[in-house]
Structure 1
Amino acid sequence: MAPARVPLPIRLYSAAANLIAPLAYRRVSAKLKAQGTSPSRLPERMGHASANRPDGTLLWFHAASVGESLSILRLIAHMGAVHPDWSFLITSGTATSAQVVAKRLPPRCQHQFAPLDTSSAMRRFLTHWHPDAAIFVESELWPLMLSQTHAAGIPLALLNARISDRSARNWKRAPKTAAHLMGVFRLIHTQDTRTTLHLHDLGLTHAQTGQNLKSVSGPVPYDNASLQKLRGTLKARPLWLASSTHPGEDEIMLAAHTALLRDHPDLLLVLVPRHPERAPTIQSMIASAGLSVARRSTGDDITDETQVYLADTLGETGLWYALSPITCLCGSFSPVGGHNPYEPAYAGSAVLHGPLYANFAQTYPEFDATGGAVEVADAPALAAAINTLIKDPAALTAMREKSRSFVTAQEDMLDHITHDLCLALDLAKTE
């Protein structure tokens, strides 16, 4: 049978991608270098490996950025424990993802920057690494990366697939292109039934709703010495956490905290902006609200007078989840689509969130139904929910236990995901 004709949009894309490759490389390498990436690693973006391929079976995982990269580490660790003769390669495109993943790499696993989506970069990458299977995560789907990997005879799978309604409408305008790209995957696990239905509409009937990898990613690590120091400073002082705030949400958090201080004058708010570079603006906002602030990045101590602790550092999210009994998870009061609710749940923190959580459209309602999380609409509702939990320690304890139970119930899914991948990717013979 003759191979299926490549759709015109993909042929045009391929020609354009190869033509602008030198300019694209200059731009991405300059950005990586500015973010502290070693110059020796920049050529990885053109497919030049900076490490040797290990002997034996090699599984390649490709993820877009930090969240997606971290979501697969526990799966890789599990697969590595089951198959001690396997090795693993993670690729991603951002400097932050490389820095964060480097601190948490499982045994026999290494990171490389993903090659640019050009014929030459992909050819060099695949010639050097030639993985036995490729697993893509979420929605980081590059046409040449997919087509050349498939053409090399490497079986592919897609995990944690998520397609918004808007993206689905765009895909349906070019169904042949969508089917050509997505048809290379032997296995497609989606995050939610909405994505599954969208893919079925495109003719990809083998797509099935799977487990969200973020549900089995495990607790976010933290420095225990820092946790004990903070607990010693705070003693029995009540606190709550506003995690991953975006513009427009800091005002909501501060309004809720101001209301809470009337009944709980010693209450501390730990405010963690999603992007620490916004800290000066937020600090001014806190001062304008008439609240006293200490800022972590500048080494300010928390005193009895501190009402807001601005935690504007990277890599300490796990510390704040472990410290706080109550977490308001932001990105859900603005059109961001919500952030990963499994992280505070693993720490046993009761979770409050806003009504905008399209990124976790199935997860948040399930979490709410367990009693470990509660949706609140605005600042008054948020203040009322926190006030209730502070005044009723037994209710708070129960909510925290339900939060932790929500994620521990997901643990056995690692075995199921591993089994499905092995079968679909012709790896079953090594189980």
Structure 2
Amino acid sequence: MPKALALGLWGWAMRLATPILLLRWWRRGRVEPGYRQALSERLAWYSGPAPGAGWLWLHAVSLGETRAAAPLIAALREREPGLRLLLTHTTATGRAAGAELLRAGDAQAWLPLDTPGATRRFFAHWQPRQGVLMETEAWPQLLAAAQAAGVPVDLANARLSERSLRKGERAPALLGVAAARLRAVLAQTEADAQRLRRMGCPQVEVVGNLKYDLAPNPALLALAGQWRALLGEQGLVLAASTREGEEALLLAAWQQLPAPRPRLLIVPRHPQRFDEVAALMPGVARRSRWGPSGPDAQALSSPLWLGDSMREMALYYALADVALLGGSFEALGGQNLIEAAACGCPLLMGPSTFNFAEAAELSLAAGAARRVADAQEALRLAQQLLNEKAALGQMARAAAEFAGAHRGAAARMAERLIPRCDRPA
């Protein structure tokens, strides 16, 4: 298919999808009110006067990408103290986390829908000097509009799984052309770099993974230390960032364990599923109902806990004796396992970790994690490790050492991105 035709068809498809997407965000706002905030920005309609030019625009789609962007933003500010930052997001959790990264003079907005009109209005309004997209966000109309506006766009902390590459190769006139419009790509791993080159990305360089540079919140670590004193001898197994379908598997495997069973703490990946998961857990103690002093007597009497709070994963990892990696027990590719290592939490992962393939293999090689075949084996091994304190302690030390050995990506990325920027006058 000709490139211009493919881009045109995509633009019309996004126009037709616009009412559906807006309605979906409005409905989601019933559970997450942030989705109803500034809804007109989804179409790049802004109130107030144009904010002037010279922004460094950084797009972080959701919570994970926004948190990963934090050390990069800090490194960019160190290299350019007067930096004017425009942060864009797609999800409410990303926008909420991004608000804490802003300084006086910065701005924040939704990334507009990928239609020709919305993307043109976005660049006309903000006039960024450069764009930085986090990880995988390369939208066809957005990059075409950036090129037309003369805005260079780089992809930072870039990753691309084999599965995503195969999808992209099926639409080379659309996604391949979009990839080719990037100016440069800073990849997490050599395997990612090879796949990104195959997709058509130019100037691909391996720089490392920003998520190794994320330091756990000291206040959350201190709080975990206080709460651990309340737990007594009963072990705590954390199921971290679980995805749809995994909770039922893990609960069934937990119920099959011999007594005494460890306490199981489940933290779903997506907040809109908190109530759904709670319904699967009879007698569950919900984190959202505890006071600042931690679990009360009723919670401590329950063997099932639900981590229904946002941005407290470091607390949960530090509280747990061992964690199970969400997204790895179904064919979902796994979630970020680096935060567990940074908190010194031993990790058990299922067979599906293609989203973090290199990090998974490195953590296994370092002794910070172990691979299991399924949820049943994961819970059995977790219970076994709770009775093997020396082995568990060795895994915890290996996890902390593994996380520390791979830091430094933020400084390397900032060094490459700032020279590419046209400094504001």
TM-score by length of 2: 0.85
1:45 offset after TM fit, Å? 1.6
3-state DSSP class of the match of 1:7?
helix
Aligned equivalents of 2:105, 2:342: Cα separation in 1? 26
Query: What is aligned with 2:285?
Result: 294
CA distance in 2, matches of 1:201, 1:313: 40
Cα deviation, 1:106-155, whole Å, max 9, x if unaligned, reads 67643211122233322332223211110112222222211111222211
- In the aligned structure 2, how far is the partner of 1:248 from the partner of 1:25? 25
Aligned-partner SS, 1:361: helix
Q: Does 1:45 align with 2:42?
A: yes
CA RMSD of aligned residues (A): 3.2
Matched, 1:86 2:68: no
Return 5+ residue gaps in structure 2 as ranges.
Answer: none
Equivalent position to 1:208, from 205, 210, 213: 205
The AA in structure 1 aligned to 2:316 is W
- Residue aligning to 1:7: 4
Distance in 2 (CA, whole Å) between partners of 1:188 and 1:118 is 24
Offset at residue 365 of structure 1 (A): 0.7
Q: In the alignment, what sits opposite 1:117? A: 114
User: Is residue 97 from structure 1 mapped to residue 88 from structure 2 by the alignment?
Assistant: no
Q: CA deviation at 1:187?
A: 0.9
> How many Å separate the matches in 1 of 2:337 and 2:106?
27
Matches within 5 A, 1:2-401: 6-17=3-14, 19-20=15-16, 23=19, 26-27=22-23, 30-31=26-27, 34=30, 35-37=32-34, 41-49=38-46, 57-105=54-102, 109-204=106-201, 206-219=203-216, 223=220, 227=224, 230-258=227-255, 262=259, 265=260, 267-279=262-274, 282-283=277-278, 285-287=280-282, 293-299=284-290, 301-303=296-298, 305-401=301-397
Q: Deviations over 1:212-250 (max 9, x none)?
A: 232323325765685355234224543221112234433
**Structure 1: 5+ residue stretches without partners:** none
- Which residue identity does 2:10 align to in structure 1? Y
Amino acid at match of 1:13: W
- Per-residue deviation at 1:192? 3.8
1:408, distance to aligned residue in structure 2 (A): 1.6
Distance 1:248 1:274 in 2: 12
User: What's the CA shift for 1:364?
Assistant: 0.4
Q: For structure 1, which segment, 380-389 or 395-404, has the greater mean C-alpha deviation from structure 2 after superposition?
A: 380-389
Does the CA-based 8 Å contact 1:63-1:69 persist in structure 2?
Answer: yes
TM-superposed deviation, 1:409: 1.8
Deviates most, 108-117 or 146-155: 108-117
Q: Describe the SS at the equivalent of 1:185.
A: coil
Question: Aligned with 2:33: secondary structure?
Answer: coil
Between the aligned partners of 1:108 and 1:397, the Cα distance in structure 2 is 46
Do the aligned partners of residues 40 and 134 (structure 1) sit closer, same or farther apart at CA in structure 2, a change above 3 Å counting? Answer: same
Q: Structure 1 residues 168 and 277, CA, compared in 2 at 3 Å: closer, same or farther? A: closer
- The equivalent position to 1:419 in structure 2, one of 411, 415, 421, is 415
State the 1:389 CA deviation. 2.9
Residues 57, 86 of structure 2: 8 Å contact kept: yes
Contact 1:44 1:50 in 2 (8 A): no
Mean Cα displacement is larger for which, 127-136 or 94-103? 94-103
Residues 307-355 of structure 1: per-residue CA shift (max 9 Å, x gap): 2222233333222112123111121001121000011111111111111
CA distance in 2, matches of 1:411, 1:340: 15
Q: Residues 270-292 of structure 1: CA distance to partner in whole angstroms, max 9, x if unpaired?
A: 222234554555455444xxxx6
Aligned length: 417
CA–CA distance in structure 2, aligned partners of residues 205 and 40 of structure 1: 36
Other structure's SS at 1:218 match: coil
Letter aligned with residue 89 of structure 2: S
**Alpha-carbon distance change, 222 to 338 in structure 1, aligned in 2, over 3 angstroms:** farther
Post-superposition offset of 1:426: 3.9
Structure 1 position 413, deviation (Å): 2.0
Deviating runs (4+, > 6 A) in structure 1? 51-56
- Share of identical aligned residues, percent? 32
SS at match of 2:336: coil
- Residues 302 and 111 of structure 1: is their aligned pair in 2 closer, same or farther, counting only changes over 3 Å? farther
